């Protein structure tokens, strides 16, 4: 069976936006993602890399600012449409879609802070840009700890540790020292960051703060881009801070409001990851369905063998279920936040865990149905499986599984 969108309420305009995103994904993102996957990490982020050309094209089409407010230059797509767009982009390349998805992080945070100065300084330039030259990242994970310090939905499981990136007040400025881990997505190429840190004198990372800042300041340096097993088109790397001085206005959220904002941010982020994972599962299913109709074994296309059709049917079920859960959680939580209400983080986490695990199963079946060809780089399912494996590890899924289980019981 071919993949089907069950939403009969879609308008012609919404379908056109979705189809345009799919065309861009097929013609630009898929070949670029494959090319980047075969490059070294240094080549991926080097001047002249095709990654930057794709970012420029994505920005010109508005995909880097899809949900941004229209008055600042964003497309202001409603939650349903932005979900459809990101799913299509992820169908083309999960890594490149991740770069696009994360590029607005600092601008979204500046906007969410409702601070007029931050919006003018960081959000307006990003949403008003269409050349892909402004790239954001979310620098949160530190070398010795990650989601175990947040315990987003089960505070009783929080580990009380000191942060490894600390800001201390110095007159009208903050001075930042420490580092973020090698898993900062977009870290090696970002021009700006949403930065989670600890205020000097606070007793735990849970009492954190958030600043928005450019990454070209004196004292900022970066480690090498990670040479990874999967998602190789998404650059990740360390960021170091050595007596980095920033004005106090860039510290947009202090310890008292940081936790509230993080619940909202994580609600959208986790639902967004579930969307990208759904696009990955779809791409593996589509490629495998096409392959099974062309590959002949036993005197007929393998699609006609019952064992093959059984596994394709399992893949189809997982893809359809992933879209339903991902889209539901994303639309619900984004709509709640836009309406000034509280999101439900647990459901976004549940969607992310289900969709990333489903993507891994779908991609594993895709490789198996390709047989020996599935282990060669001639067919994209080999890359899809590596990408899916990475998704089940990234973003602290194992810790989140424990937390979500405790929260729902």
Domain ranges of the chain: 12-127, 138-255, 257-408
Percent residues over pLDDT 90 in the chain: 81
Choose among 119, 159, 163, 155: nearest CA to 139: 163
What's the CATH code, domain 257-408?
Answer: 1.20.140.10
Band the pLDDT of 207: cuts 50, 70, 90: confident
Same topology, domains 138-255 and 257-408? Answer is no
Of 12-16, 112-116, 169-173, 400-404, the least confident: 400-404
- Spatial contact of 359 and 388, defined as CB atoms under 8 Å apart: yes
- The pLDDT, as a whole number, for residue 258 is 87
Spatial separation of the C-alpha atoms in residues 88 and 37, rounded to whole Å: 19
Give the fold, CATH level 3, of 138-255: Butyryl-CoA Dehydrogenase, subunit A; domain 2 (2.40.110)
- The pLDDT, as a whole number, for residue 321 is 97
- The pLDDT, as a whole number, for residue 208 is 85
Q: Which residues of 315-351 are buried (b: 16+ CB within 10 A; e: fewer)?
A: bbebbbebbebbbebbbbbbebbeeeeebbbbbbbbb
Angle, in degrees to the nearest 10, between helices 30-37 and 50-60: 150
Average pLDDT rounded to a whole number, residues 244-268: 92
Q: What is the DSSP letter of 224?
A: P
Band the pLDDT of 26: cuts 50, 70, 90: very high
- The pLDDT, as a whole number, for residue 7 is 86
Q: What is the mean pLDDT of the chain?
A: 92
- The pLDDT, as a whole number, for residue 178 is 96
Percent residues over pLDDT 70 in the chain: 91
Spatial separation of the C-alpha atoms in residues 125 and 244, rounded to whole Å: 23
Under CATH, which architecture does the 12-127 domain have?
Orthogonal Bundle (1.10)
- The pLDDT, as a whole number, for residue 154 is 59
Give the pair of three-digit tokens for residue 232: 């190789």
């Amino acid at each position: 069976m071919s993949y089907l969108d069950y939403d009969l309420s879609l308008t012609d305009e919404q379908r056109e936006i979705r189809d345009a995103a799919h065309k861009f994904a097929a013609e630009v993102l898929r070949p670029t993602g494959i090319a980047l996957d075969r490059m070294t990490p240094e080549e991926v982020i080097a001047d002249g890399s095709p990654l930057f050309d794709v970012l420029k094209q994505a920005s010109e089409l508005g995909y880097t600012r899809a949900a941004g407010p229209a008055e600042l230059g964003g497309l202001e797509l409603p939650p349903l449409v932005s979900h459809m767009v990101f799913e299509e982009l992820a169908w083309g390349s999960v890594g490149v879609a991740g770069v696009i998805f994360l590029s607005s992080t600092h601008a979204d945070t500046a906007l969410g802070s409702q601070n007029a100065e931050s919006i003018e300084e960081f959000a307006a330039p990003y949403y008003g840009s269409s050349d892909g030259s402004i790239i954001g990242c979310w620098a949160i994970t530190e070398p010795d700890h990650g989601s175990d310090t947040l315990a987003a939905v089960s505070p009783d499981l929080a580990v009380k540790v000191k942060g490894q990136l600390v800001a201390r007040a110095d007159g009208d400025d903050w001075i930042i020292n420490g580092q973020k881990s090698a898993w900062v997505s977009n870290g090696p190429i970002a021009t700006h960051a949403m930065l989670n840190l600890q205020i000097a004198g606070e007793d735990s990372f849970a009492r954190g703060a958030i600043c928005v800042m450019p990454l070209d300041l004196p004292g900022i340096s970066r480690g090498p881009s990670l040479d990874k097993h999967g998602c190789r088109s998404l650059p990740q790397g360390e960021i170091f801070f050595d007596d980095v001085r920033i004005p106090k206005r860039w510290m947009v959220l202090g310890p008292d409001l940081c936790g509230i904002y993080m619940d909202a941010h994580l609600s959208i982020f986790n639902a967004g990851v579930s969307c990208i994972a759904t696009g990955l599962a779809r791409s593996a299913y589509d490629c495998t369905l096409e392959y099974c109709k062309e590959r002949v074994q036993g005197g007929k296309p393998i699609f006609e063998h019952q064992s093959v059709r059984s596994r394709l049917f399992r893949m189809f079920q997982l893809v359809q279920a992933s879209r339903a859960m991902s889209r539901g959680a994303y639309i619900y939580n984004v709509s709640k936040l836009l309406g000034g209400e509280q999101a439900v983080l647990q459901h976004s986490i549940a969607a992310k865990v289900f969709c990333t695990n489903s993507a891994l199963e779908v991609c594993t079946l895709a490789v198996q149905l390709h047989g020996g060809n599935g282990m060669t780089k001639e067919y994209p399912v080999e890359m899809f499986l590596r990408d899916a494996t990475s998704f089940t590890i990234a973003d602290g899924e194992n810790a989140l599984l424990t937390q979500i289980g405790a929260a729902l019981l």
